[in-house]
Amino acid sequence: MSEQTHLKARSPFAEAFEMFRRNHAAVAGLVILLAIIGVAVLGPVLYPGNPFDMVWAPFTPPGTEGYLLGTDYLGRDLLSLLIHGARVSLTVGLAAAFVTVTIGITIGALAGFYRGWVEEVLMRLTEFFQVLPTLLFSMVIVALFGASLLMITIAIGLVSWPAVARITRAEFLRIRELEYVTAARAGGVRNGGLMFRVILPNALPPIIVQAALMVGSAILFEAGLSFLGLTDPNVASWGQIIGSNRQYILDASYTVTVPGIAIFVTVLAISLVGDGLNDALNPKLRER
Amino acid sequence: MSAPLLSVENLRIELATRGGMVPVVDDLSLWLNPGETLSIVGESGSGKSMTALAVMGLLPRIGRVAAGRIMFEGQDMIQMEDAALRRIRGNQIGMIFQEPMTSLNPVYTVGEQIAEVLRHHQKQGAAEAWANAVDLLDAVRIPNAKGRAATYPHEMSGGQRQRVMIAMALACRPKILIADEPTTALDVTVQAEIFDLMRELATETQTATILITHDMGVVAEMADRVVVMLKGEKVEDGTVTDLINRPQNDYTKSLIASVPHLTPETRDESEVTAQVDQPLLSVRDLTVQFAVKKRWGKREMFTAVNGISFDVERGKTLAIVGESGSGKTTAALAVARLVAAQAGHVTLDSTDMLTLEGEALRQARANVQVIFQDPYSSLNPRLRAGAIVREPMDNLGNLPAAQRDARVAELFEQVGLHPEQMNLFPHQFSGGQRQRISIARALSTNPSLIICDEAVSALDVIIQAQILDLLRDLQRDLNLTYLFISHDLGVVQQMCDHVAVMYMGDIVEYGTRNAVFAAPQKAYTRNLLAAVPSVESARESV
Amino acid sequence: MGFLVVLAQRTLYGLLLLLAVLVLNFTMINLAPGDVVDTIAADMGGASAELVAQIRAEYGLDQPVIVQLGNYVWRVFQFDLGQSYFYNRPVTEMIFERLPATLLLVFSAQIFALVVGILLGVFAAQRPNGILSHIVTLFALFGYAAPVFWTGILLLIAFSLKIPLFPVAGMRDVTVEGFFPQALSVAHHLVLPMLTLGSIFIALYSRLCRASMLEVLGSDYVRTAKAKGLSPRDVTMKHALKNALPPVVTLAGLQFSAVISGAVLVETVFSWPGLGQLALTSILARDTPTILGILFFSALVVIVGNLLTDLMLRLIDPRVRGKA
């Protein structure tokens, strides 16, 4: 490193952003993701009407005038269903990831920072939640407490947080032993400050990556639940389209393939962004 | 003289970086005669390890030999087929590495790892190879070799693992042994044992050795000839006696000068008294224990510091010296209340440190600050240098907020940094500069005691000297008091007024610098002093 | 520490987790609005207050909650999970009928995914920028992003309907007789569900195995192995792989609950007669004892799976052996 020559500050996040920008796949993923978000936000405005209305003969193949993607077994416009479904998928995905990360960080941070019996109790709790098969458990929650979007979001969050808690704890355990944390304590920083201002910002990179992946898993999760019919029957959702048209794959396979592609592309875009974040935030890679 | 066993001719090694191919070794030539020990000496980044790896054909993926020849028994090893090269590796040329803790495969027993070499190169059967592996472990003086052969690396100490590495490297009686900083990760007394072993085995087996090191003292004690490297190039070479006594190059001279000579020129100690009425820091019967988790959840206590007592006078330096596991760092951190003590009294500036709790303890932290060992992990990577230095002032002390930035700028100048560097992030500084930031941070609350915990151990010798100078200047100007923790006797000798030698939780020797260095009373201290490599053995008597 | 001691410790801990599962399930069912009696009454098109009280007494629902919980736990430890409200059969009987199918699917998909994932990861790590490496990366992305039920339907369309290589639904051909022909028939039916379920996890394992191998290949002890003059194959397969495996095995252990979850969807797609299908019908029918029973047994499968991975880790890594 040259001595005293460059005085321009380069924050670790600025460097990470630079790395991310150079990752073409990640940037492509981000662009696709933004486009899907755009569709979800503006779609119902651009393509109004109730997607559940029967608009044309059932099994109208894609490409028919006015019905770009054709109609399903009830004669509903597939494009309209998809556009309205994007909203549900993305909202549930983001909200569930938020719930997951909030619970996960809180429990992981407390366990990793305080150690002792706090850690013992919280990690046993985490292990307990990991024993419950996620989908079955959330099926039970949704079945018992109603299939509203809110309940689905909570159910997904409730079964997904252990992974985030484990990563957060591992990072806290690693970072709390580093000398700069001891230095901060010697400099009079209180416990709360140590946890949230000193350790947490340094623990964030892997958590951010995990959070991005959680959005993808939550979308897949919601799709799975609605594929099984465990969803709010009054809102359109991608998984539900596939589930309800499943019996007719011989007559009209596009009613299954097209919404599947929507889910696939969305989750793929999210994981590309997640991979980009991982490479950008992982200091090991940067040193090479 | 017979033909050299190995010769390196005009070697150039390049590494792929983001900025293209960068040379790390350039135009290097050297040779190794049968049976001799050649030392390649230099600081980190000099290219000495890369040279060794190139000889073995083990350069990292991003590296390549761009030019030159490596001749061994009439063949150029760079042009050699991979299969032919593998017949030389581990068979004709053995190698041991710097990190004994990570250089052995954790999932196989040490016996298996040695036997594997014999099975592979000498086509020995399983039973024969195992028996020979046990003999080799015995030869490198692993006690109870027969039993220990079946243990895993994690069940051994660092010194023992390095012995296993030596056994493995010498298993096939190679013509050449390459040792890359083989003792840098080890304690000084263990280092002395490993070197004794290497010398003995090399003589016995007539193995020529290439010893890579940063320590001129090691060169003087171990080598016949030496090559000095700086930034990828050879700056000087010759026999050890010539080079030590008549160095031509300034860099070589500074390397020689950095080696401690512990035969003391008696320093004026008129101001250093044995006892003072009112020491700044007084520690009595300090005991620190850790809970070690045992099976069935039962807790067992490990005593890291066993009821030690010492004093530090205002404006003076007490060094606590000891090997790894002696409890020196734990003791110092317990004084600062950064590690919990189980018993004893610590009085700093007439404050009883160990009884403080809560807010009173937090405020008292302003009075004792720490400079840490690792310049790469002691600064929060998310904060700017200025914020790092400012942090203790924001939390402690009573300087008005408006004056703090000016104070940070002043501190930056004091430690030899430019105030404009306040905006930079830690990764934009070199190791030495980071240590200066650490010092500025420690000074920020005007503490009466500063603990230097191996503060220069991670630095190259030349940078180390600069930081030590800075610490001494600051002590003189600001009348600072240091509690100086180090494993390095040379550094301790330069810095301290009093010394406490720790061994396994106890202070075994305690006194003024001259007393301890010139006339050590305890056998442990004498061993420790004797184990430090010095250039004296290669000096010609005048 | 002795192998048996560890096994006993882990089993005991697993039992405690199972007990916690029971408590949680029971609490949840009691927190939920409405209960089975409402469902039964609704099925009958309304019932009188006396009849409702009678049904309540019959199912023990008139007793204090804590007593109901105690009764439930006690019965479970006698392998009695109660009577299904919907099928009117003992729950254990129904579960034992279907458990083998689910176990077969879950374990075959896990083992298949582990073997293929590890092989792909090892070969991809040989050349971090080679073609295979890119394929593994791509496959990992695709395998993760494709909803498993969708993959299943696509495979079904392609390899059962368009090209009739594999059967469309079910687990065996009932007309076949004899042990080996039947086993063959089951294997034939298993191919598509196993591929579908395995695909997600192959993606996961190959990716982690590649990363883990790359890290291990850069380690000091692999350099030592090369310095010994060993062949690239010995360096990779003997020295690197065994060290790269623990993270992959650990991940596989953590995935058991996800594999079971995926199995629910795959069973639905391929009409595989396992617990997943039963779970769906009983959830739609609000058949509380059956739901509780299935959750209990799937948690048991996860716990056994975790135990197995734990023991496997001990075999691979001597450093774990020393720890409790």
Interface ipTM: 0.85
Across A64-78, B394-408, B475-489, the highest mean pLDDT is recorded for B475-489
Percent composition of chain C: helix, strand, coil (DSSP 3-state, to 5): 80, 0, 20
Which residues are paired to C249 by β-bridges?
none
CA B405 → CA B398, B411, C95, distances in Å? 14, 10, 71
Residue identified by tokens 């009764």 is C71
- Of B240, B257, B274, the one marking the end of a domain is B257
The answer to whether position B379 is within a domain reads: yes
Contact B116 C230 (CB under 8 A): yes
Q: Flag the least confident range among B474-478, C43-47, C108-112, C290-294.
A: C43-47
Q: What CATH number did the domain enclosing B226 receive?
A: 3.40.50.300
pLDDT band per the 50, 70, 90 thresholds, residue C324? very low
Residue C251 lies in a domain: yes
Query: Residue A162's closest chain C neighbor by CA?
Result: C254
- Binding-face residues of B in 431-450 toward A, CB within 8 A: 433, 438, 441, 445
Query: What's CA B117's distance to the chain center, in Å?
Result: 30
Identify whether the C-beta of residue B106 lies closer than 8 Å to the C-beta of residue B154.
Answer: yes
Q: By the CB < 8 Å criterion, does A267 face chain C? A: yes
Q: Which among A12, A185, A186 is the nearest to B425, CB-wise? A: A12
| Cα angle: A141, vertex A142, A145; to 5 degrees | 75
Of C26, C130, C111, the C-alpha closest to C76 is: C26
If contacts are CB pairs under 8 Å, which of residues 317-376 in chain B contact chain A? 333, 336, 338, 362-363, 365-366, 368-370, 372-374
Of A133, A140, A271, the CB nearest to C260: A133
Q: What is the pLDDT of residue B110?
A: 93
Say whether residue A137 is in contact with chain C using an 8 A CB cutoff.
Answer: yes
**Sign of CA pseudo-dihedral B261, B265, B266, B267:** negative
C59 falls within a domain: yes
- Residue C302 maps to a domain: yes
Sign of CA pseudo-dihedral A107, A113, A117, A120: positive
Q: Are A231 and A240 in contact (CB under 8 A)?
A: yes
Interface A-C, measured as beta-carbon pairs within 8 A, has a size of: 137
**DSSP 8-state symbol, C237:** I
Chain B: give the shortest CA distance to residue A104, in Å: 23
Whether residue C319 and residue B99 make contact (CB cut-off 8 A), yes or no, is no
Which is nearest to A198 in space by CA: A178, A184, A177, A179? A184
Between the CA of residue B327 and those of B26, B28, B254, C120, what are the distances in Å? 44, 44, 33, 48
Neighbour-count burial of B262, counting CB atoms closer than 10 A to its CB (0-12 exposed, 13-18 middle, 19+ buried) = middle
Q: Hey, are the CB atoms on B396 and A182 less than 8 Å from each other?
A: no
Nearest to C228 by CA among B64, B147, B198, B105: B105
Provide the pLDDT for residue C45.
66
CA distance A61 to chain B (A): 52
In B, minimum Cα distance to C128 occurs at B61
Same domain, C212 and C267: yes
Best of C150, C200, C290 to substitute, by most chain A Cβ atoms within 10 angstroms, is C150
The C-alpha of C180 sits at a distance from chain A's nearest C-alpha, in angstroms, of 33
CB contact under 8 A, C298 and A133: yes
How big is chain B by its Cα radius of gyration, in Å?
26
C243–B105 CB contact, under 8 Å: yes
Give SS3 for B502. Answer: strand
Query: For residue C265, is it within any domain?
Result: yes
Where is mean pLDDT largest: A191-200, A251-260, A270-279?
A191-200
What are the chain A neighbours of C291 within 8 Å (beta carbons)?
140, 143
User: C142 and A132: CB-CB below 8 Å?
Assistant: no
How many structural domains compose chain B?
A: 2
φ/ψ of B313, rounded to 5, equals -80, 155
pLDDT digits (tens, 9 = 90+) for B252-293: 888 888 777 776 555 555 555 555 567 899 999 999 998 876
Which of C220, C229, C317 lies closest to B87 in CB terms? C229
Q: Is residue C83 part of a domain?
A: no
User: Tell me, what's the pLDDT at C163?
Assistant: 86
Q: Testing the interface with B: which of A8, A180, A282 to mutate, by most B Cβ within 10 A? A: A180
Q: Average of pLDDT values for A166-185?
A: 92
* CB B11 within 8 Å of CB B25: yes
Q: What CATH code is carried by the domain that includes residue C202? A: 1.10.3720.10
Contact C32 A136 (CB under 8 A): no
Euclidean distance between CA atoms A195 and A198, whole angstroms: 6
Render pLDDT for B443-476 as a digit per residue (tens, 0 to 9). 999 999 999 999 988 888 888 889 999 999 999 9
Chain B residue with CA closest to C245: the answer is B107
C243-301 per-position pLDDT tens digit: 999 999 999 998 988 999 999 999 999 999 999 889 988 888 878 778 888 888 899 99
Is the CB of residue C4 less than 8 Å away from at least one CB of chain B?
A: no
Q: Is residue B298 part of a domain?
A: no
Is residue B26 pLDDT above 50, yes or no? yes
Least CB–CB distance from A183: residue in B366, B378, B420: B378
Q: pLDDT tens digits for B135-183?
A: 999 888 888 888 899 999 988 888 889 999 999 998 998 999 999 998 8
Give me the pLDDT at residue B217, please: 87
One domain for residues C195 and C65:
no
- Its domain, for residue B142, covers 35-58+81-257
Please give the residue range of the domain that contains residue C149.
94-321
The DSSP 8-state label assigned to residue A60 in this structure reads: P
Determine the pLDDT at residue C243: 92
Domain count, chain C: 2
Q: Do B246 and B318 fall within a single domain?
A: no
Confidence class of residue A87 from pLDDT cuts 50, 70 and 90?
Answer: confident
Does residue A2 have a pLDDT over 80? Answer: no
Give the residue extent of every domain in chain A.
28-282
**CB atoms C219 and B97 under 8 Å:** no
B80 touching C, CB under 8 A?
A: no
User: Do residues B426 and B527 both lie within one domain?
Assistant: yes
Widest distance between CA atoms in chain C: 86
| More reliable by pLDDT, B276 or B437 | B437
Neighbours of B247 (CB within 10 A): 19
| CATH number of this structure's domain A28-282 | 1.10.3720.10
Domain identity same for C34 and C154: no
Question: Residue A288 pLDDT > 60, yes or no?
Answer: no
Share of residues in chain A with pLDDT > 90 (%): 33
For residues A50 and B203, which has the higher predicted lDDT (pLDDT)?
Answer: B203
Tokens 């500050």 found at: A9
Cα(B182)–Cα(A55) distance, integer angstroms: 80
The chain C residue lying nearest A163, using CA atoms, is C254
- The answer to whether the CB atoms of B106 and C224 lie below 8 A apart is no
Nearest to C230 among B58, B104, B120 (CB): B120
Same domain? For C148 and C261 the reply is yes
pLDDT at C33 over 70: no
What is the per-residue pLDDT across C147-197, written as a single tens digit (0 to 9) for each?
Answer: 999 999 999 988 988 888 888 888 877 777 888 888 888 888 999 999 999
Interval B199-221: pLDDT, tens: 888 888 889 999 999 888 888 88
Residue C32: which pLDDT band, with cuts at 50, 70 and 90?
low
- β-partners of residue B483 are B318, B451
**Each residue's pLDDT tens digit, A90-142:** 999 999 999 999 999 999 999 999 888 899 899 999 999 988 888 888 888 88
Same domain flag for C72 and C99 = no
Q: Nearest CA to B443 among B388, B498, B491?
A: B388
Q: Which alpha helices (DSSP H) does A78-199 contain, by range? A: 78-114, 116-131, 134-145, 149-175, 179-186, 191-193
Domain boundary among B231, B257, B283: B257
Q: How many CB pairs under 8 A join B and C?
A: 74
Query: Residues C181, C307: one domain?
Result: yes
CB contact B182 to C (< 8 Å): no
Find chain B residues with C-beta within 8 A of C231's C-beta: 86
Kindly state whether residue B537 falls inside one of the protein's structural domains: no
- Give the residue from C104, B285, C141 showing the smallest Cα distance to A32: C141
Chain segment B285-323, per-residue pLDDT in tens: 999 998 876 555 566 788 899 999 999 999 999 999 998
Chain C, 24 to 83: residues with Cβ < 8 Å from chain A are 24-25, 28-29, 31-33
Two structure tokens written together for B119:
């099975």
3-class DSSP state of B77: coil
When CB atoms are compared, the residue of C228, C239, C324 closest to B117 is C228
Rounded percentage of chain B residues whose pLDDT exceeds 90: 48
pLDDT in tens, A194-250: 998 999 999 988 898 889 889 999 999 999 998 888 888 888 888 888 888 877 777
pLDDT in tens, B490-533: 889 888 999 999 999 999 999 998 889 888 888 999 888 888 88
C217 touches chain A (CB under 8 A): no
User: Minimum mean pLDDT among B24-28, B356-360, C5-9: which range?
Assistant: C5-9
Residue A141's closest chain C neighbor by CA? C28
- Model confidence band, residue C72 (pLDDT cutoffs 50, 70, 90): confident
For the cut 50, the answer to whether the pLDDT of residue A3 exceeds it is: no
C-alpha–C-alpha distance, residues C61 and C57, integer Å = 6
Which of A89-98, B90-99, C312-321 is predicted least confidently? Answer: C312-321
Domain boundary residue among B257, B273, B295? B257
Name chain A's partners: 3 or more CB pairs within 8 A. Answer: B, C
